[in-house]
Amino acid sequence: MIEITNFRNNHLIDPHLEIWEWPIAVYLFLGGLVAGLMILNGVWRLMNKQTDAPASTRMAPLWAPVLLSLGMFFLWIDLSYKTHVYRFYMTFQIASPMSWGAWILILVYPAQLLAIGIATEIKSFKGPFRFLNLPIAFLQAAAFGKEKLIAWLNITMGAGLGIYTGILLAAFAARPLWNTALLGPLFLISGLSTAAAWNLLSKPAHDEEKTLVRWDLALIAIELMLITVFLIGLATGPQGHQDAGELLLGGSFTATFWVFVVIVGLLLPFWLELREVTGRFAPKWAAPVFVLVGGLALRLIMVYAGQVSHIPDVEMLSGGF
Amino acid sequence: MARYGMVIDTKRCVGCHSCVISCFLENEVPEGYTRDWIVEVVSGKSPDFRMELRSERCNHCDDPPCVFVCPCGASYKEEGTGIVLVHKDKCSGCKACLAACPYNARFINPKGYADKCTFCDHRVKAGLKPGCASTCPTKAINFGDFDEPGSELHRLMEGRVVKTLKPDAGTKPQIYFLL
């Protein structure tokens, strides 16, 4: 028998860490979504120049800075010293993933704005958005003739942003659930999938829709594979990783993880999109909505469960003195 | 150059919480929080039980993950002492250091910045021991410089079983517990 009594009772620390809540999960979700929108836009520009893709190449570049700013707002409301937010930009800490992230978040804006510039299909806004016509004309002039460069810029910056949202958590060795190199690719692929879903809900053209559904099927398949490897890694790792895996494989986050992430977020949309591809009936809104729900659920569960996971005390490993 | 740390004798500790109270008063720790605390571990099989009492705090690690993850450069290891400190004016309250600490030794001060044990650096610079080490009635908490030849800390560890907390974390804690 072993019993450990810790007399510490610090707010948000005990009985387990609860320092990051839903705003961080929403920020990670929006960061991944924006990364995906940037990559899909860039890839579409490079690969399907001839196909009209209003959702991926016209609407997505407009949404990207708005969604990213919203994500940064959620990041800001989570800070406990809000007036010191400028401190992120007074230094660059090379060993800190969060410092890299803070600068990436700023550096993606020019790439996003230039992407608006190459969305030459944007003619003119009317009504309350008229004021956007002048800056967009300026961006179009700045981006003229640089389509390929801007597409690559969006792909690389988007990939950096998407991977960063996973690396941010993966860098915390003290939290075994997060401490895996798979988290970067997993969040990037999930971000791409949510971006495809977002574009599918943004009135895509017929051929664009068919392509996006096929891409999303592949992305969901890769995500399922990554989650499987992630769980195997936890279950076969050292004690702290096994305990962390237990949270998703029988512990307190099991039901939410399997229902919202795996079934609703991955298997159900995979089945619906497979039906669509094979010409059978499937409501067009359903798969994208489920993918978005699953993407958000993945971040929420990872943020909350990761804080519960910890490196076990040495006494617990040895079973006593 | 010094490398300050502690050697804490778990056989001498009686769990009186004097260290906690002295820290609270010395550092004006906000109510409801604590920079050091007692951990009681009971193990064994009836009737052979053993109890270990530990006074714990920030381990002032030689490889401090809280310092590496800080995006603002607010967390730092002080040159010349090895004490891990927080520049509260530089802290943004992002809480990355709290997540990075395997010992959960940090907390967010109600004023917004990350807070933790400082080894009472203001006392150390004045040639005094940290509040907890000065107050400990059983002399279980011993503070000193590990780099000092013939240091009292090394003498205390001679012939004793010594451990650090969560060695797997790879942080190289500078607080050693005598069993």
DSSP state of B56: E
Residue at A7 is within a domain: no
d(CA B12, CA B5): 18
Residue at A319 is within a domain: no
- Min Cα distance A134 → chain B (Å) is 36
Please identify among residues 59-88 of chain A the ones whose CB lies closer than 8 Å to any CB of chain B: 78-82, 84-85, 87-88
> What's the pLDDT score for residue A126?
79
Token digits of residue A50: 């001839």
Please identify among residues 146-185 of chain A the ones whose CB lies closer than 8 Å to any CB of chain B: 171-175
Q: Give the nearest chain B residue to A10 (CA atoms).
A: B33
Residues of A whose CB is below 8 A from B19: none
Please identify among residues 11-40 of chain B the ones whose CB lies closer than 8 Å to any CB of chain A: 17, 20, 32-34, 37-40
Per the structure, the count of domains in chain A is 1
* pLDDT tens-digit readout, B46-72: 888 999 999 999 999 999 999 999 999
Please judge whether A307 and B99 are an interchain contact, meaning their C-beta atoms are less than 8 angstroms apart.
yes
* pLDDT tens-digit readout, A294-320: 999 999 999 999 999 999 887 665 554
Cβ B129 vs Cβ B140: under 8 Å = no
Residue at A10 is within a domain: no
Is A5 strand, coil or helix?
Answer: strand
Mutation target vs B (from A1, A2, A8; most B CBs, 10 A cutoff): A8
* pLDDT tens-digit readout, B161-173: 999 999 989 999 9
Cβ A43 vs Cβ A155: under 8 Å = yes
> What's the pLDDT score for residue B35?
97
> What's the pLDDT score for residue A132?
81
> What's the pLDDT score for residue B1?
76
Please judge whether B169 and A311 are an interchain contact, meaning their C-beta atoms are less than 8 angstroms apart.
yes
Interchain CB contact of A18 with B (< 8 Å): no
Per the structure, the count of domains in chain B is 1
Interchain CB contact of B76 with A (< 8 Å): no
Which amino acid does the sequence have at A21?
E
Which residues of chain A are under the pLDDT cut of 70?
Answer: 48-51, 120-123, 315-321
Interchain CB contact of A91 with B (< 8 Å): yes
Residue span of the structural domain in which A96 resides: 22-313
- Min Cα distance A319 → chain B (Å) is 8
Please judge whether B52 and A321 are an interchain contact, meaning their C-beta atoms are less than 8 angstroms apart.
yes
Q: Which CATH number belongs to the domain containing residue B64 in this structure?
A: 3.30.70.20
> What's the pLDDT score for residue B102?
96
Residue of B63, B86, B32, B80 lying closest to B167 (CA atoms): B63
Tokens 């050292």 belong to residue:
A238
Interchain CB contact of A131 with B (< 8 Å): no
Residue from the list A1, A6, A311 with its beta carbon closest to the beta carbon of B37 = A6
Residue at A1 is within a domain: no
Tokens 């502690």 belong to residue:
B6
Please judge whether B40 and A5 are an interchain contact, meaning their C-beta atoms are less than 8 angstroms apart.
yes
Residue at A62 is within a domain: yes
pLDDT higher than 90, residue B139: yes
Residue at A318 is within a domain: no
**Secondary structure string (H, E, C) spanning B98-140:** HHHCCCCCCEECCCCCEECCCCCHHHHHCCCCCHHHHHCCCCC
Q: Which CATH number belongs to the domain containing residue A108 in this structure?
A: 1.20.1630.10
Cβ B83 vs Cβ B60: under 8 Å = yes
Cβ B57 vs Cβ B33: under 8 Å = no
Is B33 strand, coil or helix?
Answer: coil
> What's the pLDDT score for residue A321?
47
Please identify among residues 107-126 of chain B the ones whose CB lies closer than 8 Å to any CB of chain A: 107-108, 111-113
Residue at A15 is within a domain: no
Residues of B whose CB is below 8 A from A307: 99
- Min Cα distance B81 → chain A (Å) is 22
| Angular region, A92: left φ>0, alpha ψ -120 to 50, beta rest | beta
Residue at A45 is within a domain: yes
* pLDDT tens-digit readout, B29-42: 999 999 999 999 99
Residue span of the structural domain in which B34 resides: 4-178
Tokens 């962390």 belong to residue:
A244
Residues of A whose CB is below 8 A from B45: 1
